[in-house]
């Protein structure tokens, strides 16, 4: 296993399907061959922190390199971003002190590196005035390179994490967003460098939008929404060379997600009308939608099958089974 002692990263997760977050991260790391270690993520209420608290959008994690972080971004749809951690604290005074002591920013100070600063708040709105004041408070880092708002070599910044307002008195009224670390809702401040992927490979979250039901040519009233189908395809380790089966395929959401990740797919349903649709052109609805996305060559076939009389019970491949994975709607 690679040495994980050197770098700590902040994983920024989307706040949806949180129960599947860690499972998808583990599956993505397994598929990409990335060793990782989740660390306790401190908060104002719990300075020691908890490991894998899925109620929070940010988790600390050890990774062997920036490239390992990029690999996770390409595969794990739950990840919105990854930052190399420079310092974290629950007050700006402490954050500056820890940042000055660690000086993890020093490799990026050379004039050859262009840079920009990004200040973000979770459950809080940051005004432009406050963003500028925060950036200026880090002037001691003294980046020598030019500021470049697009395609900069380095993007550094602060992530401010707040608890969600629970009543109207806590909603961001006038001036409430400007309280900063005096805000009682503040959970933690993270300072770091954003990891960018310039390989040209789309991040995994782009697949969610590409497979959106709003854009699909063939759907039904039970079609699985795209984000859940991508999460499940990842957990099934779908990829090139894999053959994946959905025994309750319906309108094919799982088949499209697995095929877009490079796997070959086969789907069945007890009601063949779900696979065909009402179109009289002779092309099944599942095939039409697959052609819309481009992976129709990886969709081997579909068929009407009663799974109580499954044709796949005989041993295949010397007892190894016919399929690499079986993935289906969690409600089935």
* CA distance to 310, 321, 322, per residue, from 314 (Å): 9, 9, 9
Buried b (16+ CB within 10 A) or exposed e, 73-107: bbbbbbbebbbbbbbbbbebeebbeebeeeebbee
Q: Please state the length of the chain.
A: 332
What is the pLDDT at residue 173?
A: 47
Count the Cβ atoms, other than its own, within 10 Å of residue 45.
Answer: 9
Top CATH class of 7-194 equals alpha beta
Structure tokens at 175: 């001036």
Burial of 301 from C-beta contacts in 10 A (0-12 / 13-18 / 19+): exposed
Cα gap 124→110, rounded to integer Å: 33
What is the pLDDT at residue 68?
A: 96
Top CATH class of 204-326 equals alpha beta
Reading phi first (left if > 0) and then psi (alpha if -120 to 50, else beta), residue 126 is in: beta
Domains of the chain, by residue range, sit at 7-194, 204-326
Cα gap 140→101, rounded to integer Å: 12
Structure tokens at 206: 């782009």
Q: Model-level pTM greater than 0.85?
A: yes
Cα gap 201→211, rounded to integer Å: 17
Q: What is the DSSP letter of 54?
A: T
Structure tokens at 154: 């380095």
Asked whether the beta carbons of 323 and 258 are under 8 A apart, the reply is no
Asked whether the beta carbons of 68 and 105 are under 8 A apart, the reply is no
Give me the residues paired with residue 115 across strands.
Answer: 147, 154
Given a cut of 50, the residues of the chain with pLDDT beneath it are 1-5, 168, 173-175
* CA distance to 88, 103, 131, 305, per residue, from 47 (Å): 11, 22, 26, 55
């Amino acid at each position: 296993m690679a040495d994980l002692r050197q770098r700590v990263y902040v994983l920024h997760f989307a706040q949806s399907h949180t129960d599947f977050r860690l499972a998808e991260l583990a599956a993505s790391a397994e598929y990409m061959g990335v060793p990782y270690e989740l660390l306790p993520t401190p908060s104002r209420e719990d300075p020691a922190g908890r490991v894998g608290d899925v109620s929070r959008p940010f988790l600390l994690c050890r990774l062997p390199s920036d490239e390992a972080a990029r690999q996770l971004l390409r595969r794990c749809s739950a990840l919105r971003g990854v930052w190399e951690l420079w310092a974290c604290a629950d007050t700006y005074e402490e954050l500056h002190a820890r940042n000055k002591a660690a000086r993890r920013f020093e490799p990026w100070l050379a004039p050859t590196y262009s840079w920009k600063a990004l200040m973000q708040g979770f459950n809080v709105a940051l005004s432009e005035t406050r963003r500028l004041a925060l950036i200026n408070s880090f002037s001691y880092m003294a980046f020598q390179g030019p500021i470049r708002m697009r395609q900069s070599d380095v993007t550094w910044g602060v992530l401010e994490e707040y608890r969600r307002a629970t009543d109207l008195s806590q909603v961001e009224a006038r001036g409430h967003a400007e309280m900063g670390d005096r805000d009682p809702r503040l959970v933690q401040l993270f300072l770091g460098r954003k990891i960018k992927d310039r390989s040209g490979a789309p991040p995994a979250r782009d697949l969610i939008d590409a497979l959106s039901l709003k854009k699909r040519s063939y759907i039904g009233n039970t079609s699985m929404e795209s984000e859940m189908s991508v999460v499940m395809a990842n957990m099934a380790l779908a990829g090139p060379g894999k053959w994946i089966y959905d025994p309750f395929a319906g309108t094919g959401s799982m088949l499209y997600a697995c095929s877009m990740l490079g796997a070959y797919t086969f789907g069945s349903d007890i009601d063949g009308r779900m696979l065909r649709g009402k179109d009289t052109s002779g092309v099944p609805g599942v095939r039409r939608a697959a052609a819309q996305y481009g992976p129709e060559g990886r969709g081997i076939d579909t068929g009407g099958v009663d799974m109580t009389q499954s044709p796949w019970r005989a041993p295949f491949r010397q007892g190894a089974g016919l399929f690499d994975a079986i993935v289906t709607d969690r409600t089935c």
